[in-house]
Amino acid sequence: MFIRHKFESIMPIKENLNLPILLITAAATGSLMTFWISHQVKKKRDRKSMQDRLERRRKEILNKSISQKASTEKAAPVGTLVTNLKIDEVYLWSIQSLSECFESEVSTDTINRMHGMRRASEKDRSLIETTMTNYNQLIQENECILADLVRTPNISESDLTVQRTVAYVRAGPREQLFFNPKTVNAAIVTCGGLCPGLNNVIREITNTLFYLYAIGGKVYGVRGGYKGFYDPALPPLELTPSVVENIHHSGGTILGSSRGGFDFDKILNFLRQYNIKQLYVIGGDGTHRGAYAIHEGCMKVGLNVAVAGIPKTIDNDVDYIDRSFGFESAVEAAQNAIRVAKTEAYCNLPNGIGIVKLMGRSAGFIAVHATLSSGDVDLCLVPEVPIVLEGSNGCLPHLYEVVKSKGFAVVVVAEGAGEELLGVSAETDASGNKKLPAIGEYMKKVTEKFFETKGEACTVK
C-alpha cells in the first residue's frame, strides 16, 4: 500500500490491480521513483537558493542606501569605497613659465576676468568693453589630469612598493595673468599640411584675445607657414573679429600653409619688429620642433615671448592628447571613398577588389576608425601591425577566401603601412618627414599576382 500510495501521485492506479502486478510495476519503474524524489529535492533547494539571493539583494540595497546617505552627509562621492586601490605619488609634467625668467607685467592682486565686448555699431567695427565677468572656474597651481587611470587591486609590496602616476597640466584660465592685455600683440601661423578645422582654430584664438581678454594690440596672421615671417611677398594679415567672422565655414586656412622655411634669425626679427608677445604655432611634429626652437632661442636672447604650440594632425598621431582636431572630419570624408571602392569592387567582374589608401603616416587611426564606421571593409592594414602577405594568417589568402565567398572585397590601407615589406625611405620632405612607400600600388600588384597563381583573374581598382 505504501508503494501504491507513492505511485498514485505520479500515475492513477486502478482499483482492480493485483498486488503482485503493482510490485512488479514498482520494480520496473524504480528509475522513475528516483527521478521524482530528486526533482522534489531540487525544487526545494532552488526555492531556498532563490530566497537566499533575494535576502542578500535586499541587504545590499539597504546597505547601499545607508552608504549613499552617509556619503551625502560627508559630501563624499556616491559609490563604494575601494580600500585596496591607491595613488601614492603624482609626477606633474610641468611647463616652463616665463615668470621664471621675466617679471610679470601685471600686479599680483589683479584677478583674471572675462571682458564682455561688443561692436559700437554695424558700420563701426570697433569694439567697446561693456562688462567684466568672473570665470566659472579658474585653474589652480598644480591642478592636473592624471595620465595613468587604470589601477589594479591588491598589488603586493613585492610587485610595487609605491603606486605612481604621471599627470599633465590642466588647461584653462589662471587666476593671475602674466601679460598686460592692453599691450599684447599676438601672431598666428599655420604650417605643414592642411587639416579640417584650421580656420576654426584661427577664429577662436582671435575672438578669445579680443572678446575675453580685450587686448589693446593687434593679432597678425603669418601667411604661408614659417617662410611668411620674412617673405616680402607674404605680408602679415591683420586679424580682427570681423575678418574671422565667417572663416570657419571655409576649408583650409585663410593664412595659407607650407612645409619647411624655418629660419630662426628671420623669425626673431619679425617678433621684434611687430612687438609680438604671444605666438600661436599650429602644426604637427615638424612644426612643433620649430616652435620649440623659437622658444629656446627667445629665452637665450632674453625676448619675453610666450610660444603656444597647437597640435594639428589629421592622423591623430600626436602623443599625450586623446584626439586632434580634424580627425573626425577625416574619418567622415573617408566613408565616401570606401563606398565608392565597394561599388567598384561589386560591379567589376570577375573577382572585384577595391583598395582605398587613407592618410596615416605612422599611425592607422583614420584607417581603423573609417573601417569600423563603414562596416564594408574586409581588410584593414595599418603601420602599427606588420603586413603578412601569405601563409595561414596572410592577407592574400584571406582576400581570396572573401572574394570566393561573396564575390568581391574592400581593402583599406594607411599610407604608412608596409615599410617592413618595401623598406624605410631615406628621403624626407621639407618638414623633415620621411617619404612613404607606395603601399597602395604594391597591394594592387601582389593581389593580382596571387590570383594568377590560382589560375584566376581579378579586377583591382
Task: List the catalytic residues.
Answer: 315
Closest CA to 363 of 304, 426, 318, 297: 318
Cα dihedral 262, 263, 264, 265, rounded to 10, equals -160
The answer to whether 308 and 360 are in contact (CB under 8 A) is: no
Residues 6+ apart with CB under 8 A from 96: 295
Grid coordinates given for 443: 597591394
Checking DSSP bridges between strand 237-239 and strand 219-222, what pairing results, if any? antiparallel
Listed in sequence order, the residues at least 6 apart from 415 whose beta carbon sits closer than 8 Å to its beta carbon are 357, 358, 359, 360, 361, 436, 439, 440
What is the residue-wise DSSP string for 290-345? HHHHHHHHHHHHT---EEEEEE--TT---TT-S--TTHHHHHHHHHHHHHHHHHHH
Residue 216: partners with Cβ closer than 8 Å, 6 or more residues away: 181, 182, 183, 184
Euclidean distance between CA atoms 20 and 55, whole angstroms: 50
**CA-based angle 445:447:451, to the nearest 5?**
120
CA-based max dimension of the chain: 123
Helices (H), 85-223: 198-207
Residue 395 near residue 379 (C-beta atoms within 8 A): yes
335 near 358, Cβ under 8 Å?
Answer: no
CA dist., res. 417 & res. 230, Å (int): 37
**Closest listed residue to residue 398, CA positions, set 417, 383, 416, 378:** 378
Task: Quote the CA–CA distance of 280 and 187 in Å, as a whole number.
Answer: 6
Would you state the cell numbers that stand for residue 272, as one nine-digit string? 621684434
What are the C-alpha distances in Å from 389 to residues 232, 348, 368, 429?
52, 24, 19, 29
